[in-house]
Structure 1
Amino acid sequence: MRIAYLDCFSGISGDMLLAALVDAGANRERIEAELRKLSLGEFRLEWKNVVKTGVRALKLDVIDETPQPAKPLKALKVIGDHAHHHRGYKEIVEMIEAAGLAPRVTARALAVFEKIAAAEAKIHSVPVETVHFHEVGALDSIVDVVGIALGLEELGIDRLYAGHVPTGNGYVRCDHGLYPVPAPATMEILIGIPLRSTNIQKELTTPTGAGVAAALVHEFGPLPSMTVEAIGYGAGTRDLPDQPNVLRLLVGHL
């Protein structure tokens, strides 16, 4: 059985995992070509090697190149010079189902969004089908989630394992205001998942990262007995004190 292990000592986010999958050998050109099947407008993926506290890792940035309207539409939230579409859960499901992706890719991507939607529905006390995502409904999060499902398929990963998940501490500014870390929806997603304590005053695991962990990881714990064939490093955006802000992905077989 072909497996991958998420060594998430600095947490997990969607862009970190997608970058780690590509760094471990997933074909980024094929991933990008498949992502173009989604109705996401014009965008490009920018990949670059960075060094985080002495460790080289691949960094991914999703650049929105869709022409922006002169005035913000009702469905858009303007932050700085960028407009972010607040997509609903139902809209995202329909988009993924209509893209004609491989069955396992579609199933994995939908499973992640289902976990996130269920948590948002509970936190905000609304039906799941009416959930509207804010940060998670933005272009980059959709690219991350579907890209991760594509990357796992590219590498032929049958089962995903992970270490205990650090969440971080402090506060994070979300669409609704200033929330403690982990934010309520993130904490809801992580119910039943073993967490690891840390004194780092930053958000280490994002809602997207938590959704991937909850939906796709088969088992949490120490590194399983596996033969490692490839290693990928995905970089986070921030620099952390005393440790590299990277996600290490080990790919191999049992």
Structure 2
Amino acid sequence: MENFVDQDVHRFGRFNWMGLYTLGKREVLRFLAVWTQTLLAPLVTAGLFLVIFNIAVGPGRPDVMGVPFLTFLAPGIMMMTVIQNAFANTSSSMVISKVQGNIVDTLMPPLSPLEILLGYLAGAVARGALIALCVGLALALVLGITPEHPLVAAVFVLLGGAFMGALGLFAGVFANKFDQMAAITNFIVTPLAFLSGTFYSVEALPPVLYRVTHANPVFYLIDGLRFGMIGVSDSSPLLGLAICTGATAAVCLVVWQMLRTGYRLKA
């Protein structure tokens, strides 16, 4: 018993890089195998959003924060697409594994809870980053929008993928059935994405909604990417960076604890 405890403690002192790489590679290859659904479809959806809003609002729409409405809208659509797909990547992977009963293939190898968490997040961040790159290229070609602050834009894209990837993993561990997963998506993720300044400046909101929006981490993700892409924002990018980093760390800590205890994973 004493040797087992010593080995277990020692195990946390060494990082299983090969196992982490293998799990991360599995998650990346999983979404690349169906790229028409995971990469092409979000790109088409983002384009449809921009076209529909352009037609519905029309050229007479006044500028928002000193920039044309479509230019203001584009970074919000980009981030919304990134976070929705990062969430879908981890949540679908975990729920499908649980429903099909092959979650044991992930739990049996010598992977620590942190390594499992990082492996799943690698797939979510990779998918989010690829989608952001595709949407960004389309915006540059069609609308002529290029990043004002490329490093800031990249940081918020990666943070968005990590935050929603961790939230998706939390939802996937919590949900035991597809209808539970759908409920989490419909009543938590979708409101977070849509009520976050994606389609409007929060300065136009009434005081109550203004305060509620500023409590939403997704608002800071969108606002930070907007600053990185077009140089305007509703709040300080540094404040947004701090809040998004803290929110990501908090969700990751909760998921790590769930994985460590085997919550809803082990019979």
TM-score range for the pair, normalised by the shorter chain length: under 0.3
Structure number with larger C-alpha Rg: 2
From the two aligned structures, give the one with the greater helix fraction. 2
Higher relative contact order (CA 8 A, sep 6+): 1
From the two aligned structures, give the one with the greater strand fraction. 1
TM-score, with length taken from structure 2: 0.23
TM-score, with length taken from structure 1: 0.24
